[in-house]
Amino acid sequence: RQQHYAAMREVEPITRDGTRIVVLMNAGLRDDTPMLGLTGADGIGLFRTEFQFLVSATLPSRERQTRLYRDVLDAAGDRPVVFRTVDIGGDKVLPYLRHNDGDAEENPAMGWRALRVALERDGLLKVQARALLEASGGRTLNVMFPMVTEPWEFDAAKAVFEGQLNFLRQRKKLLPEAIRYGAMLEVPALAECLDVLAPKLSFLSIGTNDLTQFLFAADRANPKLAERYDWLSPAILRFLRRVVTTVAPFGTDVTVCGEMGGRRLEALALLGLGITRLSITPAAIGPVKELIRKVDIKEIRTAMDGWLAAPPRDMRSTLAEWAFFKGI
């Protein structure tokens, strides 16, 4: 089986009707980068920068952050890397950073986390911005912000980067060749204002792990709720299709970077919604590429349109049967 997936490394993820799907991997540590070569991923679609903070006993210095980002970019070579600014708080608590003045939060997932922390403690974001900008000198920086809830938060986070960019420009440092700013769609409220945000974005990345827990009001970390929702539920699929339709006129790249995209039937459903970019866990890359090569996008799109117009009672079995019938 391992040999089989190793063989998938060189295989291009092209659908039967000729669409090249972009298959990226999720990562968070320096040690993850060899997986790029092993899986044949097109790049890193989500680099979770908070991992360095979580495995460290103290706040990582700017120098250490810069070194990590540079090492990751070096390892990726020509392949793009999308760095996500720190998503701490929620389930990722740092012992050396005081959260909410020591008060435990009742709902940490919906609490003071991610961009909310970064915009308030903007010293943290400034340091990270400097580190990312310096590490990207002479190349492209792709950076995205987690848990954007309203468009102004994207503007504020981007302004922090632009401020640091000016600082580096004045010091005649080597600047990135290009900077692409993106937002993560994880909070359903953002979907209602996407037409406002999309023109400002270089790309949008849908974090389906958080998005679905908020959409269903069901804690992603609570095993008692694991059966409460299905990634293939019509509510999620309709929601995602609306997002794709809303940003399409702006030509914004849309990637799904949650775990959903790494599962066979879910990946099939995403192709049926018009998603052509996935960022998934390295172990899923071989199996998902294999799936992609068996799919005819036009067929799954037509089928999906029908199911979403009149949802079957059990979307999962319906899709599984369809896939079986199509030899997928």
Q: Are 44 and 86 in contact (CB under 8 A)?
A: no
Does residue number 87 form part of the binding site for ligand PEP (CB under 6 A)?
A: yes
Q: Phi and psi dihedrals of 326, rounded to 5?
A: -85, 0
How far is 161 from 135, CA to CA, in rounded Å?
A: 13
Bridge partners (DSSP) listed for residue 141? 179
* Residue closer to ligand PEP, measured from CB, 186 or 266: 186
Does residue number 247 form part of the binding site for ligand PEP (CB under 6 A)?
A: no
Does residue number 13 form part of the binding site for Mg ion (CB under 5 A)?
A: no
Tokens describing residue 54: 């979580």
Which ranges of the chain would DSSP assign to H, the alpha helix?
Answer: 2-7, 34-39, 50-54, 62-76, 115-120, 122-135, 151-170, 188-191, 194-197, 208-215, 234-247, 264-272, 282-292, 297-309, 315-325
Q: Taking CB under 5 A as the rule, which mask of x and - marks residues 200-229 in contact with Mg ion?
A: -------x--x-------------------
Stretch that binds ligand PEP, among 189-197, 201-209, 247-255, 312-320 (CB under 6 A): 201-209
Q: Are 299 and 326 in contact (CB under 8 A)?
A: yes
Does residue number 48 form part of the binding site for ligand PEP (CB under 6 A)?
A: yes
CB of 263 to ligand PEP, least distance (A): 13
Residue 233 binds which entry of ligand PEP, Mg ion, none, with Cβ cut-offs from 5 to 8 Å by kind? none
Q: Are 14 and 20 in contact (CB under 8 A)?
A: yes
CB of 258 to ligand PEP, least distance (A): 3
Question: Which of the residues 77 through 116 are near Mg ion (CB under 5 A)?
Answer: none
Does residue number 257 form part of the binding site for ligand PEP (CB under 6 A)?
A: yes
CB of 254 to ligand PEP, least distance (A): 14
How far is 81 from 68, CA to CA, in rounded Å?
A: 13
Q: Summarize as ranges the residues that interact with Mg ion (CB under 5 A).
A: 186, 207, 210
Q: Summarize as ranges the residues that interact with ligand PEP (CB under 6 A).
A: 46, 48, 87, 186, 207-210, 257-258
